[in-house]
Amino acid sequence: MADAVAIFSGGLDSTTLLYHLRAEGHSLRSLSVDYGQRHARRELDCAGRIAADLGLEWRRLDLTSLVDFFGSNALTDAARGIPTGAYSADSMALTVVPNRNMILLSVALSWAIATGATAVAFGAHGGTYAPYPDCRPAFADAMAAVARVCHESSLEVWAPFVGWSKADIVARGAELGVPFERTWSCYRGGVVHCGECGTCLDRRAAFEGAGVSDPTVYRPRE
């Protein structure tokens, strides 16, 4: 049992993370960051509602000033489109926000120190495709090592899903009663999930892989 800060996007993975850590008995605060991702509004609205349902302290942090430091990528650069179709190495590379998770974890660690929490958690997971560098076990381990020495007392970094596929997360979420229909994945940030971008296809495939009924409303195909 620990006091922990969870990085919480309002997506399927980090929502299941909250339920999972709560089920393990930890006491949580949740942190959502607007770093200029084009689906921020949709995603973070979902996060706020889910945190309220769970009765968790929730903070939304505006770091949109970072956009100028991320270079050109499909997630934070309004001039680019979101790639459609299943992820390939190339289309995934387009959606990499460089070093995003280190920034999120470093802010979560600051807030943890300020509030007396001793751990931070994030929903990084493997999956069937080559994962983002800052979602890999080597990154999670290195962040855990730096968290041990960044403050006078040692902190922990938890990535409980780092060896899991997204289907594993859906299966665990189903066990825990996660309200999947309230979570948001789509990078497009429309009224409903587009069903066509890489992250929508991943979401669909995860429900299929887990044998769990997918409650997501996808935009009808034209």
Instruction: Confirm or reject binding of residue 163 to a second copy (CB under 8 A).
Output: no
| 104's tokens | 């999120």
Q: Which is nearer to a second copy, 66 or 176 (CB)?
A: 66
Which amino acid makes up residue 222? E
- 112 closest CA partner among 147, 87, 78: 147
Instruction: Confirm or reject binding of residue 91 to a second copy (CB under 8 A).
Output: no
Instruction: Confirm or reject binding of residue 40 to a second copy (CB under 8 A).
Output: no
Locate all alpha helices (DSSP H) within 31-185, ordered by sequence: 40-54, 89-94, 100-115, 137-147, 166-176
Instruction: Confirm or reject binding of residue 212 to a second copy (CB under 8 A).
Output: no
Tell me which of 70, 87, 158, 180 binds a second copy, using CB under 8 A: 70
Q: Which is nearer to a second copy, 88 or 208 (CB)?
A: 88
Residue carrying the six token digits 């973070």: 44
Instruction: Confirm or reject binding of residue 56 to a second copy (CB under 8 A).
Output: no
**DSSP strand E in the chain: where?**
3-7, 27-34, 57-62, 119-121, 156-158
Tell me which of 24, 41, 81, 98 binds a second copy, using CB under 8 A: 98
The rounded Cα 187 to chain-centroid distance in angstroms is 12
The residues binding a second copy (CB under 8 A) are 59, 61-63, 65-66, 68-72, 97-103, 105-107, 109-111, 113-115, 133-134, 136, 138-139, 142-143, 145-146, 148-152
